[in-house]
Structure formats: structure tokens, C-alpha cells
Amino acid sequence: MGLISNCRIWLGWRDSNPRMPGPKPGALPLGHIPMFATVFNFIIIVAKAQAKVRVWYNIGMYQAYVYAVALLALAVLVGFAVVRLPLLRKIFLPTAVAAGIFLLLMGPEVVGKHLPEWSFPREVYAVWSELPHLLINIVFATLFLGKPLIKIKDMWQLAGPQVAFGQMIAWGQYALGGLLVLLFLGPLFQFPAIGAALLEISFEGGHGTVAGLSRVFDELEFSEGRDIAVGLATASLVSALLLGIVIINVGRKLGLLHESVGVVSTVRNKVYTQHILHEIREKGVRVRQYITPWNLAHHGLLIGVGVATGWLIHRILLMIEMATWANSGVIIMGYLPIFPICMFGGMLAQILWHRMGFTISREIVNLYSSSALLVLIATAIGTMSLEFLTNSAVVFATLYLAGVLWIIFAFVFLAKRMFTQYWFENAIVSFGQGMGMTATGLLFAQMTDPKNKTGAVEGFGYKQLMFEPFMGGGIVTALSMPIILAIGLPLFTFICGSLCLGWMIFGLHQFRPVKRL
């Protein structure tokens, strides 16, 4: 009742109010927008209610898990409502990011320092901090489940330019990070050499990769780097959405798109997890008939087998290392997290499933991976420390600006010379992934090519098969910091710069642009 009594009656928009003689374009609302008023009052009620249950702060482990699940569900609901506010809806901000920011604000890093009686208990943040590095195994195990495979030669014809462009960006991020640390951040701010890997880890890898490397950050005594990487991943994702929409609108006005379409209307029902339900409906199948308990159960078991297989492979590789080259002091697998291996575990599980006669639905796999990614991003943002903003603000700003400018440079000056045709549609997908996540790239693809006439989405999908095992959270990403320690930052920067230049030259000469018909 308190929520209802505190809200003003919404009188409707002026152009739809029956008391108005006619619509008035651009008119302001007569009363509070219901969504904003409801969300704001709901947050206040939750804060007051949880302030009355401070006895829960000395809670047991079981109660902490229950409380953590309840508050996480609340954060997702708040994020779901917030991203549907008129301004945020236009930039397609993911629910996970909004939920994570809500958890961060209500936690010990913000509200806890100023209004401790209103903040969420520290015990639930301890529970949430364990989730990201576990959920990333699920995300990587599902990367290639249910995706059709074709011959390598055909795959390269479709995805070759995407692979060259993506590899150039990723290796360039390492080289740029190395130069910044060698010439500026290291001498002036004593930033460690392994910090050169943060650009690729956060921009290309994202929140999941940062979470998966948590143990590596801890073992290398670089926990501050993890917080900086989470902050960079969040800032780059939001920037990708803002800049991407601006770039697409400019490209549409300049006639760079194959087909001029309205940006918002084409993707209204295809954003992030909504595209899964859209694809099911496109098949002419009812969602209730498609998403059945049996389908959910055997796909969940498939993903579990994929993760378990990845874990088993990782353990076997560790045992081999301990029995061989580890005796001479060379450690490789000890620094390699489980999540990159889960990609191969998922592939092996898929082969087993096909031989057992099961059908794998990519849409249901996406439901699992999207749900895991939502919780992963929300908890990764919500549990990060903000001390780096005080201790390493200049480092954070420098890495962020360098990362954004590098990808914009690659898109504006190199993409049109590396893609054989439809360069804008192809490059904007890699732009979205290189600064945000895979779902961001696919969102931009829906904006620029809703009918998939350019083949950008198909090429991007096959590019991931040749890209993800190595970069953006793959083997190279996972071992980048240990490699810097092993060979030194100058040599690492030289190798990465050479590979970046090599992929650039290869892309410019191998894939010569052709004029559109």
C-alpha cells in the first residue's frame, strides 16, 4: 500500500489523452512515468525493508545462499524495469549490466560506506563473488553446441575477412597495452608489466573472461588488475552500445549500408535473450511445445557433461605437466583456467549426444548460456571493488581511451579495405564484439542487416570457431599474463605488434574489396 500511496496518478501521454483535442508531437507526460515511479519507489521500499532485518547480517551459510538468490532475483527484476525506461531503451542496455550496477550501488562499495543500514549484507556479496568464475565454464561449454559445421575451406571463404579483422584487433590490443605500460604507465605509475594484457582480456574477453581468470589474478598477486578489468569490460560494453548506434545511424545517412532500414524498429523483438524466442516463433512452433521439461533436462545434462569433460581434460593435462616439464620449473597448465578447455569438452559432448540419437537445439542451448551470462555479468559488476578508481584512475582512463580509439581506428580506416563486400555490415559485428560481447555484435547485425542478406552473421558465426579457441577468452588470453612474466614485456609487445601487423597486411592483400552491385 505504501508503494501505491507514494505514487502520483499517471495521467497518460498528452498525445494519447482523451481530454486533449489532438496529438501533440514531442509533448511531455502529464504525470510521472509509471515505470520510473514504480522502480524508484520499489528500490526505496526494499532498502527500508532490508534495513529492518539487520539480524540477518549474522547469518549462516544456508541462509546466506537463500538471501543471495532472493536479492539477485530482485536485482534482475529492477534491471529489467530500468532498461525499459525511454532513454535507456534506445541504447539497448542489457538487463545484466543494469542489475549489476544496482547490486554495486546497494553494496559495501557505495551505499555501505554512507548508509550502512541500507546496504545489502556482505555475506551475500561473498556468495555472489564465487559465481562468475563458475558460470563462465557453462558459457564456454555452450559456445559451439548445436552449430552446424562445414568444411574448413568453405568456412574460410565465408569467415576469412572476419578472422583477419578480429585477429588484428585482438593482437593490436595486446601490442597497444604493452606500449602504454612500457612508455607511460609503468615508468610514471609503477603499473606492473602483466597489466598490458588487460585491454584484450576486458575488451575482447569481457566480464566472463575476467571472472574465469580470477585465480590467475590472485596467484600473480594482481587483484587490482581484476577490478580494473571488470571496470574496463563494463565501460567498453556501454561505450559499444552508445558508439555503435551512433555509427550505424551515421552509416545509414551516408548510404554505407546495403539496405537502409530503421534502427530501432528492426530489432525491437530481437534484442539479447528475446531473439531466442523470436527464432522459435519463426519456425512456426509454439514456445510451450518447444521448451519442454525433457528438452530442458537433456540439454542441461549435455552442458553438464561438456563442463565435466573440460574439467577432466584440464586435470589430465595438469597431471602430465606435473610429471614432465614442471619438474624443471616450467608451468603452463597451472596458469590455464578450466573455461577455455570447456569449449572442447562441449564439442566432445556434442559428438556423444549425436551418436546417442539426441537432437541438439541451439535455441535451448542459448537459453542456458544467456541465463548464465546474465547472472555472470550482474554478479561480476556487483562484486567488483571500486578502489582502483582512487588508486589507478589514470591507468583506467588511459587503457579505456586507448582501447576505444584503437577499435574506432580499425573500423574507420581498415575495415573497408579488408572486407571483400558489405564492409560496414561485417565490420560493425566485430566492432560490437571487440568492445562489448558476442550478443552486442549480433545486435548490431540485426540493426544493419535484419534479413541477413549480406551474410555477415553467418561469417561472424564461423569466425568464432576459428577465433574463440585462441583469443577473446581462449588459450592465448588465458596464458597472456604468465607469458609476459616468462618472456618479458618488451619481447611480448614486439611479438604481438608483429602479429597484428601481419594479420593487417594479410587482410589488406588477401581480401581485396569489390564494388557493390
DSSP 321-372: HHHTGGGGT--SGGG--SHHHHHHHHHHHHHHHHHTTPPPPHHHHHHHHHHH
What is the maximum span of the chain, computed from C-alpha positions, in angstroms? 85
**What local confidence, expressed as pLDDT, does residue 268 receive?**
42
- With contact defined as beta carbons under 8 Å apart, do 219 and 331 qualify? no
C-alpha cell at 300: 542441461
Q: Are 10 and 38 in contact (CB under 8 A)?
A: no
Q: Could you tell me the CA-to-CA distances from 487 to 190, 194, 276 in Å, in that order?
A: 19, 11, 44
Which residues have C-beta within 8 Å of that of residue 493, sequence separation ≥ 6? Answer: 174, 175, 178, 179, 182, 196
56 and 179 inside one domain: no
What pLDDT score was predicted for residue 282? 55
Same domain? For 390 and 266 the reply is yes
Dig out the grid coordinates for 512 from the structure: 581485396
Domain end marker among 103, 128, 153:
128
What's the structural domain count of the chain? 2
Q: Write the single-letter amino acid at 141.
A: A
Asked whether the beta carbons of 465 and 154 are under 8 A apart, the reply is no
Instruction: Please tell me whether residues 372 and 477 are part of one structural domain.
Output: yes
Residues 320 and 340 in one domain: yes
- The verdict on residue 6 lying in a domain is no
Measured distance CA(15)–CA(20) in Å, rounded: 7
What is the per-residue pLDDT for 50?
A: 52
Specify whether the CB–CB gap between 108 and 128 falls below 8 A.
no
**Do the domain assignments include residue 347?**
yes
Rounded-to-10 torsion of CA 153, 154, 155, 160? 80
**Residue in the structure block whose three cell numbers are 608489466:** 193
Q: Which three cell numbers stand for residue 40?
A: 524508484
Does a structural domain hold residue 10? Answer: no
Q: Which of 79, 80, 85, 71 is nearest to 37 (CA)?
A: 85
Cell of 163: 578472422
Integer Cα distance of 295 and 364 in angstroms: 8
Q: What is the pLDDT of residue 294?
A: 87
Tell whether 124 and 265 lie within a shared domain: no
Rg (the chain; Cα; Å): 24
State the pLDDT at residue 303: 95
Query: How confident is the model at residue 177, as a pLDDT?
Result: 96
Query: Is residue 474 situated within a structural domain?
Result: yes
The parts of the chain modelled with pLDDT lower than 50 are 1-40, 42, 45, 49, 51-57, 261-273, 514-517
Torsion of CA 112, 113, 114, 115, to 10 degrees: 20
> 231 and 357, same structural domain?
yes
Contact 331, 482 (CB under 8 A): yes
pLDDT, tens digit, 9 for 90 and up, residues 128-183: 988 888 888 998 898 888 877 677 787 888 788 889 999 999 999 999 999 999 99
Mind listing the pLDDT tens digit for each residue in 215-268?
Answer: 889 889 898 999 999 999 999 988 888 898 889 888 888 888 776 544 444 444
DSSP-derived secondary structure letter, 283: T
Whether 66 and 212 map to the same domain: the answer is: no
Looking at the structure, tell me whether residues 175 and 320 fall in a common domain: yes
Residues 245 and 326 in one domain: yes
The grid cell for 346 is 562441449
Residue range of the domain that includes 432: 139-510
pLDDT at residue 279, as a whole number: 54
Given a contact cutoff of 8 angstroms between Cβ atoms, the answer to whether 256 and 436 are in contact is no
Final residue before a domain boundary, out of 128, 154, 180: 128
- CA pair distance 223, 228, nearest whole angstrom: 9
The answer to whether residues 422 and 223 touch, using CB atoms and an 8 Å cutoff, is no
The pLDDT score that the predictor gives to residue 60 is 62
Tell whether 77 is covered by a domain.
yes
Q: Are residues 344 and 295 in the same domain?
A: yes
Q: Do 173 and 66 belong to one domain?
A: no
* Cα distance between residue 207 and residue 239, in whole Å: 15
Enumerate the H helices of 254-292 as residue ranges.
263-267, 274-282, 287-290
CB atoms within 10 A of CB 244: 25
Joined together, the cell numbers standing for residue 230 give: 571488470
Same domain, 155 and 71: no
Q: What number of other Cβ atoms are within 10 A of residue 261's Cβ?
A: 17
HSE on the CB side for 358, CA within 13 Å?
Answer: 20
20 inside domain: no
Residue 14 included in any domain: no
pLDDT of residue 512: 63
Tell me, yes or no, whether 8 lies in a domain. Answer: no
For residues 159 and 460, give the distance between their C-alpha atoms in angstroms, rounded to a whole number: 6
**Structure confidence at residue 63 (pLDDT):** 80
Query: What one-letter code names the amino acid at 96?
Result: A
Query: For the chain, how many residues are written?
Result: 517
Is 165:326 a contact under the CB 8 Å cutoff?
A: no
Last residue of a domain, one of 109, 128, 147: 128
What pLDDT is recorded for position 304? 95
